[in-house]
Amino acid sequence: MSIWIDIAVQAPAHSQVGGLLTYRSPGPVQPGQLVRVPFGQREVLGVVWAIRDSAPEGMPASQVRDVLGVLEGLPPLDASWRQLVQFSAQYYQRALGEVALSALPPQLRDLTSEQLARRLKKQNTARTVQTASGPALSPEQSAVLDQMAHGPGPFLLFGSTGSGKTEVYLQAVERMLATDPQAQALLMVPEINLTPQLEERVQARFGTEAVVSMHSGMTPAQRLKAWLAAHAGHARIVLGTRMAILRLCRS
């Protein structure tokens, strides 16, 4: 029995395709899964956005094309990610598929299931974090850290450069990762030039395997490798500029 699904694809600007396209899937799929679908004469990557009970009204079943394959081995992009993409598309008045696919690594769009499987096989799947001891906190820092541990948040720390705000955040991350083995932390930097300095500090603290960076200065291959590690949850800490928000699927 075929399943009707709405899929976001990145269509050329002149195609006037701004919304979701309906396809059929011969097998079960979930919202947020990545699939390969026919689009005109090409095969493109798409994101399953919704499952339909039936074909769109007035659309003959003969006009609906079938999904060509599912990219296996990847967790679905979750509801929070899809909500953020949908908001961004509406806010900036862009096509949903354009925003959704632009948020994914460029190399991912061209991978077959077999190529993806080979890359996933090379991934380091260890989720352990080897934490080096940090400096002792001042009474003020300790009070802030305890408040962050027991309060609902969010929290914003004020202080001059060098006053110890980063250390408070690092110890808050340490506590969270130790408490929840499934948790991930996102550390954001205001500009790309600050990334190497913070990356070195975080890797020295938590280990190189636990941390990945995401920013526009990376090569396509580096972006794909980092995205796969973050998306699968193998990287416990993701460090990057604003674009890193759209690289995570985990709440």
Taking 70 as the threshold, does the pLDDT of residue 202 lie above it? yes
CATH 3.40.1440.60 fits 3-104, yes or no: yes
Taking 60 as the threshold, does the pLDDT of residue 216 lie above it? yes
Q: What local confidence, expressed as pLDDT, does residue 169 receive? A: 93
**Domains of the chain: which residue ranges?**
3-104, 139-247
Asked if 45 and 109 touch (Cβ cutoff 8 Å), the reply is yes
Give the residue ranges of DSSP H helices in 60-95.
79-91
Q: Which long-range contacts (CB under 8 A, 24 or more apart) does 39-44 make?
A: 39/9, 39/11, 43/68, 44/9, 44/10, 44/109
Taking 60 as the threshold, does the pLDDT of residue 250 lie above it? no
The confidence band for 212, taking pLDDT boundaries of 50, 70 and 90, is very high
CATH number corresponding to 139-247: 3.40.50.300
What span, in angstroms and rounded, lies between the C-alpha atoms of 111 and 109?
6
Q: How many residues does the chain have?
A: 251
Q: DSSP for 143-173, please give it.
A: HHHHHHHHS---------TTSSHHHHHHHHH
Q: What local confidence, expressed as pLDDT, does residue 1 receive? A: 65
